[in-house]
Amino acid sequence: MAEGSRFYVTTPIFYVNDVPHIGHAYTEVAADVLARWHRQSGDDTWLLTGTDEHGQKILRTATANGATPQEWADRLVESAWKPLLDTINIANDDFIRTTEARHENNVQKFLTTLYDKGYIYTGEYEGAYCVGCEEYKQAADLIAGTGEDAGQQVCAIHSKPVEILHEKNYFFRMSDFTQALLDLYEANPEFIQPESARNEVIAFVRQGLEDLSISRSTFDWGIKLPWDDTHVVYVWFDALLNYITAIGYGEDQANFDRRWPALHIVGKDILRFHAVIWPAMLMAAGLPVPAGIFGHGWLLVGGEKMSKSKLTGIAPNEITDTFGSDAFRYYFTSAITFGQDGSFSWEDLSARYESELANGFGNLASRSLAMITRYFEGQVPTEGAVTPADAAIHDVVAAAVSQADDAISRVAVHEAVSNIWTIVDALNGYITEQEPWALAKDPANADRLSTVLYTCAEGLRALAVLLSPVMPESTHKLWVALGAETALGSLAAQPVRSAGSWGQLPAGTPVGALEPLFPRIESAE
C-alpha cells in the first residue's frame, strides 16, 4: 500500500479499565506518525482511536465504585484516555466509544447479517466455572488440587474446585474460514507483519479453528443480540467492529467505501484477534478484509515485559513532564525497531535526548540560526555557486526523503527516522568542514559564506518538514524561527514527499530567534 491517495490507520481501542502506560502510548504514537506522514503527503488520511467499554470487568469495577457502568466509563474516558492523547500529542481524526449509538446500532446490524447468512448458530458452551470468580476459567487458570481436592482441578485464585457448567450460547462458525484465512495469508504475504507475527498466526490457524462463542448471558453490560435480548455479544466481537462502525458501516456507505480497508496497528498480544477472528468476521459478512495487520513488540523494562505488578509500568506523563511530548515521540519511534521488542530505560532515554536531540538536532538549529543572525543580519542569505560539498548535502536530503517515504510505506517507522537523521549528521559535519566563522573573517569570502549558510537554512527547512510527523512542536518552533511560516505557509501544509526539492526557502527571508529546541535537563531525577 505504498502510494495511493487513501490511508486509513487504526490503533486498538483502549479498554477503559486499564491504566494508561507507555505501551498504550507507544502504539498511539506509531500510528500517529504514520498518519501524519500520509496526511502531510496529501493522502486522504484517517486515524481512528477510541475506547472499549463493555464487558464484565467494567461492570464489576463500576459497581464496586458505586457507579453505573456507563458513568464509570464516562469518567475514565475523560480522566484517563482522552488526556493521554493530549499528553503525547496525537492528532486522531475520530475517537469512537463502543457505547455510542453509531457503534451499538451497527454492531447489531452486523450480527443480524451474520445470523441471516447462517454463520451463527445456537450451541451449548461447556466450561469450568469458578463460583468465587463468578466466571468461566480457562485451562491455564486452573491448577491441580491438593489435600481433599486432590485429583480435581481448582481455581488458581480461590483454590476451590471448579464446576463444569453448561450454558446456552450463540456460536460464530469461525471454523468455516480456516482455509480461507490460510489462503489469504498465502496470497498476501504482507497481510500480517512483521514476518515473525505472520509465522505465529499461520502456525496457529493451521491447527484448525474452532467455532467461537460470541454471546454471554451471565451479565448484561454489552450489546444485546438483536434476536435474543437475554444475551449480550462477546466483548471482542463487539470491540473489533469499531473499525468499521466508526467510518459508517451500516449507515454511511459512501464514507465506508471511502475509508475501508484499514491498516491495523496492534500490540502482539492482541494479534490473533485481529489477524484471525476479525478477517473471518469480515469474510462472513461479505466485506473486504483489512489492508494489513502490523503487530509491534513489547516494551521491555529491565529485560522484562513492563507490568504493574512488577512496578515497571510507567505512565506516559512521567516522561513527558520532564522531556516533553516530542522527545517521547522521538524516543519511541527511533530507538526501537518497530515490530520487535525494545528495551526502555531512563538512562537510554536521557542519553538519546542529550546526544541526539539536544546536541545533534537542537544544536544544529541553534548554531545555524545564530550565524545567519550574526553574519547576515537575520536574513536567509543567497545561494551562490554550488560546490561538490553543497551538492552532497542536496543529495543527502533528497535521498533521505525518498528512503523515509519508502520506510513509512513499509511501516518501518524507526527506519524513516534514521533516514531523516542522516541530514542532521551531514549538516553538522558540513558546517565543521566549511568553517563559516572562518569565512566570515574575510569579506572576499562573502559569497561562499552566503552559500554555506543558505545550505544550512535549506537543510533545516527540509528537516522541519520531514520531522514534523514525529516532533510536531519543536519542528513548528524551528519553522517559525526560519521565517518559513510567512515565506512558505504553515508547516502542516508542506508536502512531505517534495521536501527534498532544493531551494524552497527564499533568500531574504527574515529569521527569528530560536530558544533551544531541546534544553538540557539537569540531573535526570
> Contacts with RNA in 239-298 (CB under 7 A)?
239, 268-269, 272, 298
Among 84, 88, 209, 244, which residue sits at the site for RNA (rule: CB under 7 A)? 209
Indicate the DSSP class of residue 13.
P
Told to judge if 296 belongs to the known catalytic residues of this protein, a careful annotator would answer no
Among 183, 210, 257, 321, which residue sits at the site for RNA (rule: CB under 7 A)? 210
- Three-class SS state of 227: coil
Told to judge if 305 belongs to the known catalytic residues of this protein, a careful annotator would answer yes
Three cell numbers written together for 280: 473471518
User: What's the min distance (Å) between Cβ of 475 and RNA?
Assistant: 12
Told to judge if 158 belongs to the known catalytic residues of this protein, a careful annotator would answer yes
Nearer to RNA, 15 or 37 (CB): 15
Nearer to RNA, 179 or 501 (CB): 179
Across the strands, what pairs with 212? 172
User: What's the min distance (Å) between Cβ of 262 and RNA?
Assistant: 18
Burial of 461 (0-12, 13-18, 19+ CB in 10 A): buried
User: What's the min distance (Å) between Cβ of 254 and RNA?
Assistant: 29
Across the strands, what pairs with 305? 300
Does 476 sit near RNA (CB under 7 A)?
A: no
Does 508 sit near RNA (CB under 7 A)?
A: no
Indicate the DSSP class of residue 457.
H
Nearest by Cα to 204 from 263, 274, 286: 274
Told to judge if 456 belongs to the known catalytic residues of this protein, a careful annotator would answer no
CA pair distance 414, 408, nearest whole angstrom: 9
Tell me the residue ranges of DSSP E strands in 158-206. Answer: 163-172, 192-193
CA pair distance 499, 400, nearest whole angstrom: 10
Contacts of 13 (CB under 8 A, 6+ apart): 49, 50, 51, 52, 96, 98, 239, 242
Nearer to RNA, 33 or 209 (CB): 209
User: What's the min distance (Å) between Cβ of 420 and RNA?
Assistant: 14
Indicate the DSSP class of residue 57.
H
Which positions from 108 through 147 interact with RNA, judged by CB under 7 A? 135-136, 138-140
Strand order in the sheet with 120-130: 135-137, 120-130, 163-172, 212-213
Told to judge if 133 belongs to the known catalytic residues of this protein, a careful annotator would answer yes
Among 105, 322, 337, 445, which residue sits at the site for RNA (rule: CB under 7 A)? 337
Pairing mode, if any, of strands 44-52 and 6-10? parallel
Nearer to RNA, 38 or 198 (CB): 198
Which among 158, 166, 168, 310 is annotated as catalytic?
Answer: 158
Nearer to RNA, 262 or 271 (CB): 271
Which positions from 218 through 237 interact with RNA, judged by CB under 7 A? 234-236
Among 5, 122, 343, 402, which residue sits at the site for RNA (rule: CB under 7 A)? 343
CA distances from 69 to 72, 125, 324 (A): 5, 26, 34
Which among 155, 264, 296, 414 is annotated as catalytic?
Answer: 155
Q: To 5 degrees, how large is the angle CA 140–CA 145–CA 148?
A: 165
Among 65, 340, 387, 501, which residue sits at the site for RNA (rule: CB under 7 A)? 340
Which among 57, 109, 133, 160 is annotated as catalytic?
Answer: 133
Q: Count Cβ atoms below 10 Å from residue 125 Cβ, excluding itself.
A: 16
Q: Which stretch binds RNA (CB under 7 A): 19-27, 80-88, 192-200, 323-331?
A: 192-200
Nearer to RNA, 91 or 142 (CB): 142
CA pair distance 292, 283, nearest whole angstrom: 15
Which positions from 401 through 460 interact with RNA, judged by CB under 7 A? 425, 428-429, 431-433, 435-438
Among 65, 253, 355, 498, which residue sits at the site for RNA (rule: CB under 7 A)? 355
Does 351 sit near RNA (CB under 7 A)?
A: yes
User: What's the min distance (Å) between Cβ of 44 and RNA?
Assistant: 29
Q: Count Cβ atoms below 10 Å from residue 215 Cβ, excluding itself.
A: 25
Which among 109, 160, 305, 476 is annotated as catalytic?
Answer: 305
- Three-class SS state of 371: helix
Nearest by Cα to 270 from 447, 64, 11, 8: 11
User: What's the min distance (Å) between Cβ of 447 and RNA?
Assistant: 18
Total interface residues for RNA by CB under 7 A: 76
Told to judge if 109 belongs to the known catalytic residues of this protein, a careful annotator would answer no
User: What's the min distance (Å) between Cβ of 427 and RNA?
Assistant: 8
CA distances from 363 to 353, 360, 515 (A): 12, 6, 10
Among 7, 8, 15, 278, which residue sits at the site for RNA (rule: CB under 7 A)? 15
CA pair distance 217, 236, nearest whole angstrom: 15
Among 45, 49, 92, 213, which residue sits at the site for RNA (rule: CB under 7 A)? 213
Which positions from 18 through 77 interact with RNA, judged by CB under 7 A? 18, 52, 55-57
Check if the beta carbon of residue 498 is closer than 8 Å to that of residue 466: no
Active site residues: 21, 24, 130, 133, 155, 158, 305, 308
